Structure 1
Amino acid sequence: MKSIFMTRKNSLTELYDQLKKFHLSDGLYVIGAVNAALKYGTLKPDRKNIPDWIWGWLQARGRSEQDRRSLSISLSRMARFLLLSSANDYKGIFLDLNNPAVHKAYNQVVNLEELDESLGEDTLSKFSLYFNRIGQIQFPLQASKKTIIGRGFLLFHKLVLATPTDYDFDKKFKEYFGLTLIEFMSTGFAMWILTNGTLDYEIKNEIKELKHVITLETQRIFLSLSCGTPQRYREFVRGADWKTPHKLKDMYALEPLTIMPAVKVEKSSKLSSTTYVVPQAKYLLDRASSGIFYLLGDKEKELAESEGKKGKNPFRNAFGMVYRAYVGEHLSIPGRHEFIDLDNDFVQTDGKLPDFAIVQEDICILFEVKTSLLNIDARTYFEKQTMEKEVKAGNIQKAIN
């Protein structure tokens, strides 16, 4: 199975016709097992708890780091389209990586028709649109795992404790979800380490110092906040009309696995009924770190709307201060430049100043920190009219002002 560029492009309909032949949960497990072997990075695969036949296939097909990186990205895309196809747990053949039918499906994913000829734009504009869209799919999967863990710990542990705000992040998270922030992060990180394409919530914690942090209860709660069914996955992508394929959404909508990295097994002769499949282990890390932002932000939004106070969000307001401190932490790392905190290093008389400045010789770079610059549609689909509207009237314009 090679990532060969083929002249003929495959349609999404053709891909779905091929993928619906496979058993859904078993297929997601196989993909998840390959990705679990690469969860620490593509430089050196990890064999622990990976079936011999999958390990042998990976050794044969992923001989170089570039091959393994390509496999991980393409198989993650295959998991997405498998979930969006009509494949289910009640029929279908096993997704054997050595089966020619799987080879065909893989090549259809790799050679999926990306550019819409009906757009009527010039070739350069089409390729710009393509690379913007494909970048937001590939770059997150290639992110350093150590960076994800470090960012989560810095933002939601060290800085929420060190930054004065009127919002008690840890108390609120415990009140709403039954876990402290450190319990949620630690449990998610442990599940990332231990997944081999599947998960249950009976991890045996042998580390004395963590026995009170990672328990059966924290695992149960983390999974309940981070799992979903195939139907829920399709609803995240397509909305209420979740049974009907939608080319733009199916190919480029935000990846639901960042919200629900664990998918509940409904029926399988190979997996137990209490099992969750994890098609891409990296999304467990995302959930355990940046997932905190979305859990608290969405909860406060929900509460405000129930009180008739649309737009109120004490978490988002307080987190803006934490995020400003996070950016300042990075910019203030000593170097040849001078770092200036414009809010604290200057006596401000009137008007507004940007947050930070870096000065080196005759160059000055100004920084205005925003937790969000573009809305979801703009940063997902990169359509010209939506982007122009956001740039002219959204947070980018506010930051420039």
Structure 2
Amino acid sequence: MAIDSPPLGMVQSRTMPDHSLPPGGSFAPLQLPRLVPQLIGRCDRGRLTISQGKVHRFVWFEHGRMMAITSSIEEEKLGSWLVERGQIHRRDLDEALRFKAQDQRLGTMLVERHLLTADRLCQELELLTLHLAARLTFEGGAYDTEEDRHLPGDAIAIDYEPTAVFAAAVQHAPDTGQFERLTGGERTWMATPHAALAELEGGLGGIEKFLLSQLTQPRTLAELRDAVPQKPREVPRALTWLVVQGLAYERSTTAVAAEPAFPPANPRLRQLLTQIDPRPRRKLVASGGTQRTPLPQEPELDYDQAEEHKTKAYEVLRDGGDPRQAHKLLAKAVEVAPDATALTVLAELEMHNPLWRPRALERLKQATAMAPNHTSAWLALANYWSLRLQPDKQRRCLERILSYEPRNREARQTLELLITTTS
């Protein structure tokens, strides 16, 4: 089981650290998976202390990734977990603990003493991590952020993508009624604006994709079950997974429901759209015009149709229409008639889905190669590297803008903030 590669796709609505979040606070069930990526992106390393009743669990992180989840209670520690699951005997564990040095890793010692194979150790660590992540997901509590805290020397670090951990935890947790308890009753659910692009990727499972199609209008769990009479028992878990992934939200949850509409809520995308000439461009083949390099044959779309597709896509985005329609139009258009502006708008759309970010990166590279001084493309590329937590590459993009447009306020202010936060 590879936690970083779960079978279902994953989307994060906001991966940039939210500095308006307080370092400590409370959360309701199902909310922590959406908070963790924002909290752990605020500093290079540290620890989240999660208090749920009398139990304290700890999320250790470095550079935006979870390094481990540990617990204060004995039964959720590695040794007791292995004993409870019949992987080692209690007397063997007690003997190993007697001889273990303070900073020596228990798992490593168990492997060296041939009490456990390395493969089994990794499998059990993943299962224990999923168990702890499920507890963090299904229960409310309080959190506190401590910066510059290092993982203890006796703990085993496993590098995790936060969203992947919580998604896998929902998928693998035994159903003891918690999914029904968390999503049932009078609660109504809707798809978030970010779900539109997720459906296009095709990484969603069949039931999750169908539920999203139903959640364009408020729906209760009972109504969703009625829509899937063949798999009524699977609906609560699938709905929980969509909520944890940020693809659905409880309609009465004002914090999530108040997120701005998408798009053109993205300020940079809105500004770029205002600069686009609404008239379709035509190929310049007359005397004095610029001859375009012949494009590959496209049986379903010619150059003029591609330009019309772009115009229609921009109109859809300006009017706050369906981003799926705009994405389809632009994706087809740039195959036939790519230009820096269309590639940048398309990349801005695709960056809202972590699964599409490699594709967005290629589009932005193409845009900056076609138009080396296209500021919107460089700003989008800087944003991409910010999402990837690579400040050096982000800085180089901003410096590139200032090399030919030294008065660009957005690039200068972002660069100054970046220097301040990384120094």
The two structures share one fold, judged by TM-score above 0.5:
no
Q: Give the alignment's TM-score, normalised by structure 2.
A: 0.28
TM-score, structure 1 length as denominator?
0.29
Does 1 or 2 have the higher relative contact order (CA < 8 Å, sep 6+)? Answer: 1
